[in-house]
Amino acid sequence: MYKPLLTADDIYKKEFKTGLRGYVIEDVDGYLDQIIKDYEGFEREIERLKKENEALKQAPAQPVKREERRVEQAEPQVSSSSNYDMLRRISNLEKAVFGRPHQD
């Protein structure tokens, strides 16, 4: 099974070197936030599929009703959105504390 080279935490902790006219930190942070959100979504989906696969392997061969699938998909995904919101808040606090870098 394929294992990604980077985790959401690796992406979050990545530091970029800057030169005289380096990257705009807010742009990089925003982009990395999107990547982290995608990774978390992929990880959730992989775990859901693993659980579903194990359940199907252990259950007798019975057709799954469409109504049951809808109920499973309707469950709220609180943890990822709260993690993303928390990272966004931390980023905003860092901007407020450290200010915006001087741009030429």
Model pLDDT, residue 84:
79
Q: How far is CA 90 from CA 25, 60, 82, 94, in A?
A: 14, 47, 12, 6
Q: pTM here?
A: 0.42
Structure-token pair, residue 103: 């741009």
pLDDT at 92: 79
In whole angstroms, give the CA distance from residue 75 to residue 52.
Answer: 14
Output the tens digit of pLDDT for each of the chain's 104 residues.
Answer: 567 777 778 888 887 777 777 777 788 888 888 888 888 888 889 999 999 999 988 877 666 666 655 555 555 555 556 777 778 888 877 777 777 655 54
